[in-house]
Amino acid sequence: MRTFLGALVALSLAGCAAVPASKTVEVPSVVSPQIAAELLKIGPVVAPPPTEKLYAPLAEREPYAGVQVRRDVRYGTDARNLLDVFTPDKPQAGQPVLVFVHGGAFMRGERRTGDSPFYDNIMLWAVRQGMVGVNMTYRLAPAHPWPAAQQDIQSALKWVRENIAASGGNPQRIILMGHSAGAAHVAQYVAHPQFHVVPGSGLAGAVLLSGLFDPSTAESNPPLQAYFGKDAAQYPAQSAVPGLVAAKVPLLLAYAELDPPDFHRQSEQLNTALCKAGKCPGLYKLIGHSHMSEVYSINSADKTVTNLMKQLVDRVR
């Protein structure tokens, strides 16, 4: 199965001709039967606490073997402008860099909370794959509406470009990854050149997991309005879809089978627009996974998501 999946992803990342227009590829998961049953019970909702209970026992705990962690590095002036840097104990020069942007419905979220292993798990996976990991927090709505998060991503990437070589990272090989609201923020950054740290975005790739990409077609709700505002007339200009179609950044686009329906629709809308422009990235539906399990499973024996990510990483090395 892994060989087949790797070949499938490699083909789709290579270009539109490899994936039929707008096709959604269902990726079989390796979720354990016990966890799969519990995820079905939780259902298609965003439910961090019960999902974390399922995955926390599978995650590494500090101290992390073979990994150095530098926490609370300031990249801007706001109290939330902080990042953590993960490197091997003996870093080698020129390694790709994975920058992760957490979710939280635009109004909350942390790169790490208390003794939770999340989202250190994503950083540990990056280091185990020969990368440098950077985990960032950013300003939140409603106090900081659009485009505050994009401005913070710009500032964080500026810090990475100027400083990451000292940790063994290659500033020309940055992959920006976002989940949920974080995926929306990553998409907005890529799509709107006014936020780019350098012309062309400064990215070697972007990973968009279960994001909302067009506020004009997304379900209206208080968190969405808190970030994008209540004036729907502004939403088309804030949409990431046209800019993502125009961008030249390689994308990995995926959502979970047990995501709430709007995440399905938004991913499919973006994929359709990209394919119409001859830029099919391949859209991956993670069978058996939920909104939170897709990120909590990273760096565990469940490689549903990381098999996809590794193909993009290998492409930009």
Q: Which residues of 212-237 are buried (b: 16+ CB within 10 A; e: fewer)?
A: bbbbeebeeeebbbbbbbeeeeebee
Q: How confident is the model at residue 210 (pLDDT cuts 50, 70, 90)?
A: very high
Of 45, 219, 42, 183, which is closest to residue 106 (Cα–Cα)?
A: 183
Burial class (CB in 10 A: 0-12, 13-18, 19+), 252: buried
Residue 121 lies in a domain: yes
Asked if residue 314 has pLDDT above 70, the reply is yes
Residue 72 lies in a domain: no
- Per this entry, what is the length of the chain? 317
Identify the DSSP state of 166. Answer: G
Residue 53 lies in a domain: yes
Q: How confident is the model at residue 7 (pLDDT cuts 50, 70, 90)?
A: very low
Asked if residue 73 has pLDDT above 60, the reply is yes
pLDDT digits (tens, 9 = 90+) for 251-299: 999 999 999 999 999 999 999 999 999 999 999 999 999 999 999 999 9
Q: What is the mean pLDDT of the chain?
A: 94
pLDDT for 18 equals 44
Query: Nearest 10 degrees: CA dihedral of 40, 256, 290, 210?
Result: -150
pLDDT for 10 equals 46
Asked if residue 38 has pLDDT above 70, the reply is yes
Asked if residue 29 has pLDDT above 90, the reply is no
Q: What is the 3-state secondary structure (H, E, C) of 115-152?
A: CCCCCHHHHHHHHHCCCEEEEECCCCCCCCCCCHHHHH
Asked if residue 14 has pLDDT above 60, the reply is no
Percentage of the chain modeled with pLDDT above 70: 93
Residue 65 lies in a domain: no
pLDDT for 22 equals 63
Query: Quick check: helix, strand or coil at residue 85?
Result: strand
Residue 129 lies in a domain: yes
Identify the DSSP state of 174. Answer: E
pLDDT for 23 equals 82
Q: How confident is the model at residue 9 (pLDDT cuts 50, 70, 90)?
A: very low
Between CA 106 and CA 102 the distance in angstroms is 10
Asked if residue 213 has pLDDT above 60, the reply is yes
pLDDT for 229 equals 98
Between CA 106 and CA 225 the distance in angstroms is 9
Percentage of the chain modeled with pLDDT above 90: 90
pLDDT for 317 equals 83
What is the average per-residue pLDDT within 303-317?
93
Residue type, 260: P
Residue 99 lies in a domain: yes
Residue pair 112/135 in contact (Cβ under 8 Å)? The answer is: yes
Residue 38 belongs to what domain range?
Answer: 2-60+77-316
Between CA 69 and CA 120 the distance in angstroms is 10
Residue pair 238/287 in contact (Cβ under 8 Å)? The answer is: no
Residue type, 12: S
Please give the C-alpha separations between residue 82 and each of 8, 131, 156, 308, in angstroms, as whole numbers: 37, 20, 8, 28
Between CA 143 and CA 90 the distance in angstroms is 41
Residue 173's CATH number: 3.40.50.1820
pLDDT for 17 equals 39
Residue 154 lies in a domain: yes
Structural domains in the chain (count): 1
pLDDT for 2 equals 40
Residue 218 lies in a domain: yes
